[in-house]
């Protein structure tokens, strides 16, 4: 599988389909595998590129401090190595922080921007929650017990009641050969805690779709609205039947919603 050298680390990536590029950036603790349910849905229309953030999956961690800015530079380095000048970008949760950073600092590299279940800053509650998850990961490892504790923060009550899906998800995650390490998780939650784009998101020039699942318990509606309200060319959409991990819980809804924005909608002012 392909891997490139980005800055000080090897960066793992995969590509699906051909056409205009579409870069998908994952959230805390996840890697390229989290996008597989939608990457193939995008592949008839785009060259969908997924990768493992530093500290997760098959990418390295490096010796430098892990920050959202540095991880955004990893993504730019990947685009450079793939000779991609301009791309659509989807960022989920922490990946949405990275996507904001790219949009602010590298505006010429982005066509359209999709921000899924994310905010301009991480709340103190979430920072404390992630620290607690880190402490448990140190003690338990990436076990079924640890994974189950995440589920109410990721999925809607409807999906949590779907025992076959939940049991399959837990078993697959617990047996995943590239599971998150405590060291990698600690580096990413440190990056999240230090990120704050509230005073800078007004500089984002890309047409932007901000998505929130109606049942998201991790990122509140108020936080997502703050993000959408302060990006000049933004549109906000609240999706029924999904929580924080929209693209995993309802991949068809996610793909259809994003394709409508990327392909059907033309340039327009916000809202």
User: What distance in Å separates the CA atoms of residue 74 and residue 68, rounded to the nearest whole number?
Assistant: 10
User: What distance in Å separates the CA atoms of residue 106 and residue 133, rounded to the nearest whole number?
Assistant: 33
Q: Are 98 and 75 in contact (CB under 8 A)?
A: yes
pLDDT at 7: 60
Report the DSSP beta bridge partners of residue 165.
none
What are the pLDDT digits (tens) for 54-77? 999 999 998 888 999 999 999 999
pLDDT at 9: 81
Q: Are 263 and 155 in contact (CB under 8 A)?
A: no
pLDDT at 267: 43
What are the pLDDT digits (tens) for 183-210? 999 999 999 999 999 999 999 999 999 9
Other C-beta atoms closer than 10 Å to the C-beta of 175 total 10
Look-up: residue for tokens 């891997």? 3
pLDDT at 144: 96
Q: Which two tokens stand for residue 267?
A: 């340039």
Residue ranges and CATH numbers for the domains of the chain are 3-264 (3.40.50.1820)
Per-residue confidence in pLDDT tens, the chain, 271 aa: 565 555 678 899 999 999 999 999 999 999 999 999 999 999 999 999 999 999 999 999 988 889 999 999 999 999 999 999 999 999 999 999 999 999 999 999 999 999 999 999 999 999 999 999 999 999 999 999 999 999 999 999 999 999 999 999 999 999 999 999 999 999 999 999 999 999 999 999 999 999 999 999 999 999 999 999 999 999 999 999 899 999 999 999 999 999 999 998 654 433 3
pLDDT at 62: 85
User: What distance in Å separates the CA atoms of residue 56 and residue 12, rounded to the nearest whole number?
Assistant: 10
pLDDT at 264: 80
Total-model pTM: 0.94
pLDDT at 269: 36
What are the pLDDT digits (tens) for 100-117? 999 999 999 999 999 999
């Amino acid at each position: 599988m392909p891997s490139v050298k980005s800055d000080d680390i090897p960066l793992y990536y995969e590509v699906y389909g051909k056409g205009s590029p579409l870069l998908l950036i994952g959230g805390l603790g996840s890697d390229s595998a989290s996008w597989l349910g939608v990457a193939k849905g995008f592949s008839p229309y785009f060259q969908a590129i997924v990768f493992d953030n530093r500290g997760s999956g098959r990418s390295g961690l490096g010796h430098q401090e892990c920050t959202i800015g540095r991880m955004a530079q990893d993504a730019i380095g990947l685009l450079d190595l793939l000779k991609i000048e301009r791309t659509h970008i989807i960022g989920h949760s922490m990946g949405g922080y990275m996507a904001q950073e790219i949009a602010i600092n590298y505006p010429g590299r982005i066509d359209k921007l999709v921000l899924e279940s994310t905010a301009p800053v991480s709340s103190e509650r979430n920072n404390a929650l992630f620290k607690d998850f880190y402490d448990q990961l140190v003690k338990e490892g990436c076990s079924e017990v640890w994974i189950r504790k995440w589920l109410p923060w990721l999925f809607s009550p409807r999906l949590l009641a779907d025992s076959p899906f939940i049991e399959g998800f837990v078993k697959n995650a617990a047996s995943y050969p590239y599971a998150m390490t405590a060291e990698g998780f600690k580096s990413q939650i440190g990056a999240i805690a230090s990120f704050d784009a509230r005073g800078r998101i007004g500089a984002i020039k890309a047409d932007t779709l901000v998505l929130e699942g109606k049942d998201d318990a991790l990122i509140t509606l108020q936080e997502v609205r703050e993000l959408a309200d302060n990006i000049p060319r933004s549109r906000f959409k609240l999706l029924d039947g999904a929580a924080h991990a929209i693209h995993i819980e309802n991949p068809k809804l996610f793909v259809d919603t994003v394709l409508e924005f990327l392909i059907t909608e033309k340039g327009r002012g916000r809202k």
